[in-house]
Amino acid sequence: MRRTILFGLLAILLGACDNKVKFTIEGNIEGAKDSVLYFEHVSLSGLKSLDSLKLGADGAFRFQADTTAAPEFYVLRIHDQIINISIDSTETVTVKAQYPNMAARYKVEGSDNCEKIRSLALMQQDLLRKAIALEQNQSIAPGDAQDSLRRMTDRYKQTVIDEYIFKEPNKTYSYFALFQTLGRWLIFNPKDSREDLRVFAAVATSWDTFHPGAARTENLHNIVIESMQQLYGDATAPTTRQGEGPAIVESGIIELQLPDKNNQTQALSALRGKVVLLDFHTFTLPESAQRILMLRELYNKYHEQGLEIYQVSLDQDEHFWKQMTQHLPWVCVRDGSLQSAVSYNVTDVPEFFLINRNSQLQKRSSQMKDLEAEIKALL
């Protein structure tokens, strides 16, 4: 009886040790009989093999792995043919492909992120084919070929920015898009282009909000900081010239330097040491007056304890905005270009963020049930 009990307890303990939440990648790959299919983790330090199997006549496969706290990336690979997969929750992703050339001939179900990654991968492959054809066309002068390639790449980047990255910068497919290549070269290179840096900064800020502390979030943060230092000099300086792209302070927030009603530039980084409510607002909203009253109440109650409001108006009518902000006691600035909203992934107003005394972005509105309680906690 004692032996039976011991074996029973051991079985329970072993089961508990393996009782981790897992995700599943399954499906079949036609035309790949006897090929070895590898399942690999795309870590920040390189590919790491997780599992493999020899495919049968039906090409069926099924892999499982532990779900991670933050989104991660994986590949299915046969020789040099790969299918990119992202996992951001406990899910089952189904892949149906045809070999050879399974990197282009596959379908995916169960994950919108994976479907968007498939679309991006096919677009990238098409761009590469066009670039190779352009390079091999002997009737085009080298200089003209370079100009054509630059225009093609610029069109590709703009499509990816508009239709993918700026729509949902917090998604894994937006992160994936940042690191696409054309041959050996990054399509988006934040160290060479201020526009590309702005794209990286938008994704970095969004990931810092939705996946704070994750390794990939920190990696994006470091890339943005290093790129800022290369393009602008000292990225931590609050004196970055206005109009030359987003300045990233040491903590990782995107710097805002916008004019107030007296045309004086107000820097978000200048409020370091205070708890900051970064508020994006439009005074033409029907509920604007009610919202301003709510902000006044918070400001009056907690300003002496260290609360400051940095309110970014997206109103297009400058005169109307100046009238509406004439008697407001907090920092009121205006951004008619909407670039600040893009940088902070603001798709609708009102929207707000909380920043702690160390200029670290803490939460956005969707992550807060009680704004006043969150402010008190930071104070």
pLDDT of residue 19: 64
pLDDT of residue 232: 64
pTM of the predicted model as reported, rounded to 2 decimal places: 0.66
Mean pLDDT, range 141-153, rounded to an integer: 91
| C-alpha–C-alpha distance, residues 103 and 36, integer Å | 15
Please, which pLDDT band fits residue 31 given cuts at 50, 70 and 90? very high
pLDDT of 163 over the 60 cut: yes
Evaluated on CA atoms 334, 337, 343, 348, the torsion sign reads positive
Instruction: Report the run of H or E that residue 294 belongs to, with start and end.
Output: helix 288-302
Q: Tens of pLDDT along 71-125?
A: 999 999 999 999 999 999 878 999 999 999 999 999 999 999 999 999 999 999 9
Q: Tens of pLDDT along 58-74?
A: 999 999 999 999 999 99
Mean pLDDT, range 304-329, rounded to an integer: 93
pLDDT of 365 over the 70 cut: yes
Q: Which of residues 17 and 302 earns the better pLDDT score?
A: 302
pLDDT of residue 358: 87
Residue with tokens 């690999």: 40
pLDDT of residue 8: 53
What are the CA-CA distances from residue 149 to residues 134, 144, 324 (Å)?
Answer: 8, 9, 49
Lowest model confidence (mean pLDDT) among 8-22, 40-54, 125-139, 275-289:
8-22
Q: Tens of pLDDT along 203-257?
A: 887 787 788 789 998 888 888 878 877 776 543 333 333 334 444 444 457 889 9
Q: Tens of pLDDT along 183-196?
A: 889 999 998 988 89
| C-alpha–C-alpha distance, residues 200 and 196, integer Å | 6
